[in-house]
Structure 1
Amino acid sequence: MAVTETGPEQSAAAKDLLAELAALEDPKIRAVNEKHGDDHGVNLTKLRALAKNHAGDEALGRELWDSGDTAARLLALLVVKPGMFSADELDAMLRESRTPKVQDWLVNYIANKSKLAEELRLRWIDDADPAVSSAGWALTSERVAKKPAGLDFDALLVTIEAVMVDAPERLQWAMNQTLATIGIENPELRYRCIDIGERLGVLRDYPTPPNCTSPFAPVWITEIVRRREVAEK
């Protein structure tokens, strides 16, 4: 763990939790995580168990976040609640999220569940930083699935078609998810989404384990639609 020492300004609870995280560090887990850009070695099941005893403790969550340590920040995101932060605070947190897992949890557990989700989506989606933009696209995919009214699907698909193939990995993945979600949720746009996916070929050859659905949009769309149709019979 990168941060093992605590300053005098930290509470006893924060010091204790940082020490517990340090004790949970597993070199084998770290080695696996580092292949995906994440610099921590803590089992996430144990991390979640640790968070249960401190749920809703805003001050503690902020202390853990401010430590700068990846495992501590993941723990912080399990402890805090979405309504505890302003849009500016969440924007700053996203921009200082150094690893994919921290960004993913911040977007999905906090920003997406906040009343500020749409404000953040609009703030982030066209950001020059591709990691920040990817967060905007992740929120867009969620809105396509749950609150699609008012979205300009044509504009989204035009942007995806123009940008996705050359986008950095994290942004490309989020745009691809939005493409698939539009195709799954909108029968009238399904052929167009499948056609865009086929022509761009993004994630066509992504290694997919047996019994898992490929992230290649044409396959993803077709399979999820098939499953829904089977479930409805």
Structure 2
Amino acid sequence: MPGTTVAEVMAELAELEDPKARAVNQRHGDDHGVNLGKLRAIAKRLKTQHELALALWDTGDSAARLVAILICRPKEFEPAELDAMLRAARTPKVHDWLVGTAVKKSPHAERLRLVWSADPDPVVASAGWRLTADRVAKAPDGLDLPGLLDVIEERMRDAPDRLQWAMNHCLAWIGIEHPELRERAIDIGQRLEVLKDYPTPPNCTSPYAPVWIAEMVRRRQRA
């Protein structure tokens, strides 16, 4: 609610700290111990409060930053602000939410996509590739899809984990959404074998691109 202070939010987050949740999160590279459902409930109650979001982000606390992302106003960010935030977002969940919520809804997403995709920092580059994958799926006009496949074919196998994951998403969406490039996308996936042995729970689709592409195409043909 309006008038809520940073100290009040931080105190509430501290009360929600759960050692079991922290242990699970740490296995995935995150460093907070707040259940995400409870964290979202805080954000829902606070609603949009951009100034509070900025102050929560500045605490450096991951749980506070996740709340900040949910209550910020993406259109109010300047490109330099989002760039600095991304470079400060080193844990996977904060990074993912920042790109998927604040950046994608800002008017600067395309500009940042181009800058980040070419960044030498693989974590930053992964954000650019995630935005590229989203464009492949939703707004591909103007993209050089064969050129993207060239880059994926050359670099994905040896890319660091987070960048490799984002490139693999892009590969899969090219194969799913663009039938004229589907055979090549599947071939690249088969030859590189990225995520081929990724542990996948029952009833979930493997992130291995050839399997992912085939399954999504099958579902659409049945719909």
Place the TM-score, normalised by the shorter chain, in its bin. over 0.9
Q: Which amino acid aligns with 1:151?
A: L
Matching residue within 47, 63, 67 for 1:71: 63
Instruction: Give the C-alpha shift of residue 121 in structure 1.
Output: 0.3
Is 2:20 aligned against 1:24? no
TM-score normalized with structure 2 length: 0.98
How far apart in 2 are the matches of 1:83 and 1:167? 32
Q: Which amino acid aligns with 1:206?
A: Y
Q: Percent identity?
A: 63
For 1:4-48, what per-residue CA distance to the aligned partner results, in whole angstroms no more than 9, with x for missing partners? xxxxxxx86110000000110000000010011000010000000
Give the SS at the match of 1:114: coil
Is 2:111 aligned against 1:119? yes
How far apart in 1 are the matches of 2:131 and 2:211? 22
Is 2:160 aligned against 1:160? no
Instruction: Give the C-alpha shift of residue 57 in structure 1.
Output: 0.6
Instruction: Give the C-alpha shift of residue 61 in structure 1.
Output: 0.4
Instruction: Give the C-alpha shift of residue 52 in structure 1.
Output: 1.2
Is 2:40 aligned against 1:40? no
How does 1:164-179 map onto structure 2 within 5 Å?
A: 164-179=156-171
How far apart in 1 are the matches of 2:68 and 2:50? 9
Structure 2 unaligned regions, length at least 5: none
Is 2:167 aligned against 1:208? no
Structure 1 unaligned regions, length at least 5: 1-10
Aligned to 2:131: 139
Q: Which amino acid aligns with 2:88?
A: E
How far apart in 1 are the matches of 2:90 and 2:106? 21
For 1:150-201, what per-residue CA distance to the aligned partner results, in whole angstroms no more than 9, with x for missing partners? 0001110000000000000000000000000000000000000000000000
For 1:82-104, what per-residue CA distance to the aligned partner results, in whole angstroms no more than 9, with x for missing partners? 11201100000000002000000
Is 2:42 aligned against 1:53? no
How far apart in 1 are the matches of 2:207 and 2:90? 24
